[in-house]
Amino acid sequence: MILSGKQIRLGRHITQHKLDEQFQPAGVDLSVQSVWAFDEAGHIDLDNRKRKIPGSRPLAFAPDGTIHLGPGAYKIVFNETVSIPADCAAMARSRSSILRMGASVQTALWDPGYTGRSEALLVVSNSHGLTLHADARVAQLVFIRLEKADGGVYGGRYQGENMKD
């Protein structure tokens, strides 16, 4: 079962950034806090012993609150802090407006028990690029109630990520 935006808000599973309009009938919109350019290659393996997250650097928004991104892949950090209940998982999808502009947001699954300010991948495919405004809503997070929660919750490396700002 997918939780409604009202259920998400009442359950306090997300810290709203600015707008009541972020809560949708079947989820909640996530907005961009920061954009980062990758500086090096990453490494991934079977058991994460050789995992290396690539270095990245923040890109600055112009004084008018915009940033123009050329074609490519960028790391984004969301404004909102998410707390996934133990009986749910969550998935995010690109908002239709950003897809219509030739860009997409790619994410992993949010596991039961995860709390943090998540990161995602913004892929700009439009050959003319994309002008992104600060706090733009780019993805919709959907909470899915598990048929049977086994009590296991996320305890990995990214628990509590990006919570210091």
Q: Flag whether 88 is in a domain.
A: yes
pLDDT in tens, 108-141: 999 999 999 999 999 999 999 999 999 999 999 9
- The CA distance from 137 to 55, in Å, is 25
pLDDT at 161 over 70: yes
pLDDT bin (cut points 50, 70, 90) of residue 49 is: very high
Half-sphere exposure of 70 (CA within 13 A, CB side): 1
pLDDT at 85 over 70: yes
pLDDT bin (cut points 50, 70, 90) of residue 55 is: very high
What are the tokens at 126? 């439009």
pLDDT at 93 over 90: yes
Q: Flag whether 151 is in a domain.
A: no
Q: Calculate what percentage of the chain has a pLDDT beyond 70.
A: 91
Q: Flag whether 47 is in a domain.
A: no
Containing structural domain, residue 110: 5-40+66-145
Q: Flag whether 13 is in a domain.
A: yes
Q: Are 81 and 15 in contact (CB under 8 A)?
A: yes
Q: Quote the number of domains for the chain.
A: 1
Q: Flag whether 11 is in a domain.
A: yes
Which pTM does this prediction carry? 0.88
Q: Flag whether 158 is in a domain.
A: no
Q: Flag whether 25 is in a domain.
A: yes
Q: Flag whether 150 is in a domain.
A: no
CATH number of domain containing 124: 2.70.40.10
Mean pLDDT, rounded, for 48-77: 96
